[in-house]
Chain A
Amino acid sequence: MAGRLAENVLHFARILRAAGIPIGTDKVIEASRALALAGVERRADWHATLAALFLTRHEQQAAFDQAFDVFWRDPALEEKMMGLLLPKARGRTPAPEADVSTRVAQALLPARARPPREDAPDEVTIDATLTFSPGERLRRLDFEQMTAAEWNEARAFIRRLELPVPRIATRRYEPSPAGGTPDLRAALRRLARDGGELVRLPRRRRREAAPPLVVLCDISGSMHRYTRMFLHFLHALVRDRSRVHAFLFGTRLTHVTRPLRGRDVDQAVKRVCDAVPDWAGGTRIGACLREFNWRWSRRVLGQNACVILLTDGLERDDTDGLGEETARLARACHRLVWLNPLLRFDGFEPTASGIRAMRPHVDAFRPMHNIHTLTDFARALSHPESSRRAA
């Protein structure tokens, strides 16, 4: 019986893995042990035991519950396993219930339940360049790929880039021969080593670190010409720095840190393109900031995080609430920096109502002129003087 149990647990783990829950072999071995300890008489205990071992995030619970229900429901497990292993034997395996997610269904019945791929949502053909259509304008983007030379140049710039975000003193120390407070522990160690002679008192100071960054990037129609560049910028940031979270927003907010992770910039950008449903549509800055404040701020704004807001501030919705949401965002983070690339012409004045609503709450407002390439962008960030003339 023990052998059968272990086998079933293993199979269940494989199904969960296919459904996107990462489970190491160590967990599977541990699970067989744990089930023997917890007892197998009660289904709820069984469920709780496997959940405690296999889950690492709250989000995985739903998929786990569904898979558990389907997998451990039928007492004729063996028959089901046969059905799983022999996908041709149709009708012998119970079809998953309607409320089982496609992901779990596919994981359970890999060869059978493969629903036709969802086609990309139809493009709404109303002209949305001047008006914000409430039905949202969903479309997919295809970015031309970057040449290697272009990319290398930009990467080099970004690595040296000084963001307009000051470094923060941490509570940890580093040796500092030039000055700082005496480091007694190091002094004693040296004393012990050198036999009581202390030539020079070791000193230490607080180490400074770049704060965590959260980048909120506007990808609406009015920002369209910059979008590709910003994606490359985000990719470089996420690759080169730790503690960066990237979000894109137009009419809705999408967290894109995960798709951006990955060595190859074009693959990463393609993954982002697939993940984001609202390219080059309208802008609802207020609503998106609200969504960020409500759903994300407490999860990503810890540890003195700084927020970089990349938007032209042109709000298509009415600007009610935009000021409040910006203020709330500013209160929740250490520093809110707004980079505004709207300057199509020199002498731009912040007259749009969205801009007037947001401007008072940001810690730094950085307008940028004539940005065409990532290198331009990096240069503008590093040398604020050159771009601040008109502001």
Chain B
Amino acid sequence: MSPASIDEVERLLAAGGYVAGRRLATAVFLALRLGRPLFLEGEAGVGKTELAKVLATTLGRPLVRLQCYEGLDVASAVYEWNVPRQMLAIRVAEASGTAAGGTLAKDLFSREFLVERPILKALEAGRDGAPAVLLVDELDRTDEPFEAYLLEVLSDFQVTIPELGAITSPAPPLVVLTSNRTREVHDAIKRRCLYHWVDYPSAERELEILARKAPEAAEALSREVVAFVQRLRGLDLFKAPGVAETIDWTRALMALDAVALDPDTVDDTLGVLLKYQDDIARLQGTEAAALVREIRARVGA
């Protein structure tokens, strides 16, 4: 059962604690209705992976996650033969004298000896139960050969195993691909997907996110945190903080019992927000203090 309207998708995501804009909700709705994969691109920490997790929970579907890395191969992404068990089966057959005839070779390459890896697991999930949500995380980390392999999976939702033939999914999973854009993913992949660029949220939406993710934080503190982070994103930093960092920082500040931003605490906790030494060195001290003053004046006013 998939949502009947964009509004319903919005409500669904909100119920899962995910504050989505109308555009993202539309993309999710279409992905569900058209059966197309959803390609999410954006800076690190803007909630791309989280969306897949929330979708799986709220739709009541199993989440199958494939973390990509350079050199990811079919054996760890799709399937593998359980060779030790196959060897064992040969020994058993030999010992019991049933090794003769052509059946052993056939039996050796049956489902029994197949180890399912994420992609195959996601395709098979629909066979008995709800179709899965397949999260192909950080696709930009793999190399082109794997991307090319994904094409078959994404367009036909099928996997070809030489010894068994093509395995087709009875109920295709909802595929969510994410990319941090450390390189451009090939257009052939993107063409098969619905594309959505996940941007940093507006101040208003970020406040809403904080209210859900760090509900214990005082509203005044949340306001200052959001204003500070939004201001940071406007600076020419090597890596601007994402929403994940905003949430972490708020929690860090609460752990330190801070009720409002002050230059010293900001200095001490800058490492939660910024992850490059160049950026930290630049902000620490006077610039951070000036920002805090500016924000306190603005938010307090």
Is B83 touching A185 in the complex (CB atoms < 8 A)?
Answer: yes
Say how far B104's CB is from chain A's closest CB, in angstroms: 8
Residue contacts A-B, CB under 8 angstroms, 23 given: A37-B33, A38-B6, A38-B29, A38-B30, A45-B6, A45-B22, A45-B26, A47-B23, A52-B27, A52-B195, A55-B195, A57-B184, A57-B195, A58-B197, A171-B69, A172-B73, A172-B145, A185-B81, A185-B83, A188-B81, A188-B108, A294-B238, A302-B182
Question: Which residue of A47, A61, A192 contacts B109 across the interface (Cβ within 8 Å)?
Answer: A192
Asked whether, in the complex, the Cβ of B278 is within 8 Å of the Cβ of A52, the reply is no
- Is A30 in contact with chain B by the CB < 8 A criterion? yes
CB interface residues, B 96-152, toward A, < 8 Å: 99, 104-105, 108-109, 140-141, 143-145
Residues in B with CB closer than 8 Å to A188 are 81, 83, 86-87, 108
Q: Is the CB of A48 within 8 A of B22?
A: yes
Is the CB of A372 closer than 8 A to any CB of chain B?
Answer: no
Q: Does B244 contact A (CB under 8 A)?
A: no
Q: B41: CB under 8 A from chain A?
A: yes
**Residue A39 at the chain B interface, CB threshold 8 Å:** yes
User: Could you tell me which residues of chain A, from 30 to 59, have a CB within 8 Å of some CB in chain B?
Assistant: 30, 33-34, 37-39, 44-45, 47-49, 51-53, 55-58
Which residues of B are found within 8 Å of A304, using beta-carbon distances?
70
A372 to B263, CA, bound (A): 59
Smallest Cβ distance from A69 to chain B, in angstroms? 15
B24 (CB) vs chain A CBs: closest residue: A48
B181 within 8 Å of A (CB atoms):
yes
**Given A45-B26, A48-B22, A303-B143, also A56-B195 (CB < 8 A):** yes
Ordered nearest first, which 5 A-B pairs have the shortest CB separation?
A171-B71, A48-B26, A192-B105, A56-B190, A48-B23
User: Which chain A residues numbered 176 to 221 have a C-beta less than 8 Å away from chain B?
Assistant: 184-185, 188-189, 191-193, 196
With A58-B41, A188-B87, A294-B238 as contacts: A53 and B184 at CB distance below 8 Å: no
Query: Which residues of B pack against A, CB within 8 Å?
Result: 5-6, 22-23, 26-27, 29-30, 33-34, 36, 41, 69-73, 81, 83-84, 86-87, 90, 99, 104-105, 108-109, 140-141, 143-145, 163, 180-184, 187, 190-191, 194-197, 236, 238, 278
A360 within 8 A of B: no
Q: A52-B196, A56-B187, A185-B83 are in contact. Are A38 and B26 (CB under 8 A)?
A: yes
**Contact of A10 with B by CB under 8 A:** no
Assembled-state Cα–Cα distance A293/B84 (Å): 48
* A27 neighbours in B (Cβ, 8 Å): 191
A302 to B141, CA, bound (A): 7
Q: Kindly identify, within residues 2 to 27 of chain A, every residue whose CB is under 8 Å from any CB belonging to chain B.
A: 22, 24, 27
Take A37-B34, A61-B197 as given contacts and tell me if A44 and B22 are in contact as well, using a CB distance cutoff of 8 Å: yes
Q: Which residues of the partner chain B approach A294 to less than 8 Å between Cβ atoms? A: 236, 238
Partner of A191, one of B33, B70, B90, B141: B90
CA distance A49 to B24 in the complex (A): 10
| 5 additional A-B residue pairs with CB within 8 Å, beyond A22-B187, A58-B41, A302-B182 | A55-B195, A172-B145, A299-B184, A301-B182, A303-B183
